[in-house]
């Protein structure tokens, strides 16, 4: 399994939703832009909560599963490069 951090820059996103069809963890937010589904089973953070954090217009979630290829496809499909996938070590 791969541990990886997914970042979505809201400022760059323009709501084309190419990502949603590649990885269902990307969903439409209330603002009409993409976000990461908080119910998408991200790993627990230091406080013991499963979290998708939103800070300064940046949505970040860390996963530990076999779905990294889907996320990479979503990132590649994004025309404005709003999604970044970074593999992190344990
Ligand atoms: S593909 Fe990129 S621009 Fe389109 S909704 Fe997803 S993150 Fe936003």
Range of the domain at 34: 2-87
CA of 10 to the centre of ligand 1 (A): 9
CATH assignment at residue 12 = 3.30.70.20
Q: Report residue 90's pLDDT band, with 50, 70 and 90 as the boundaries.
A: low
The predicted model gives 52-76 an average pLDDT of 95
User: Probe ligand 1: pick from 57, 76, 80, max atoms within 8 Å of CB?
Assistant: 80
The mean pLDDT value of the chain amounts to 93
CA of 49 to the centre of ligand 1 (A): 26
Number of domains composing the chain:
1
The predicted model gives 39-64 an average pLDDT of 87
Cβ atoms of residues 67 and 23 within 8 Å: yes
Task: Give the pLDDT confidence of 27-45 residue by residue, as tens digits.
Answer: 999 999 999 999 999 987 7
CA of 90 to the centre of ligand 1 (A): 28
Task: Give the pLDDT confidence of 10-24 residue by residue, as tens digits.
Answer: 999 999 999 999 999
């Amino acid at each position: 399994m791969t541990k990886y951090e997914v970042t979505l820059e809201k400022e760059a996103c323009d709501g084309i939703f190419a990502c949603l069809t590649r990885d269902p963890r990307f969903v439409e937010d209330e603002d009409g832009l993409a976000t990461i589904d908080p119910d998408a089973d991200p790993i627990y953070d230091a406080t013991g909560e499963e979290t998708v954090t939103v800070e300064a217009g940046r949505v970040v979630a860390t996963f530990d599963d076999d779905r990294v290829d889907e996320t990479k496809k979503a990132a590649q499909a994004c025309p404005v490069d709003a999604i970044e996938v970074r593999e992190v070590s344990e």
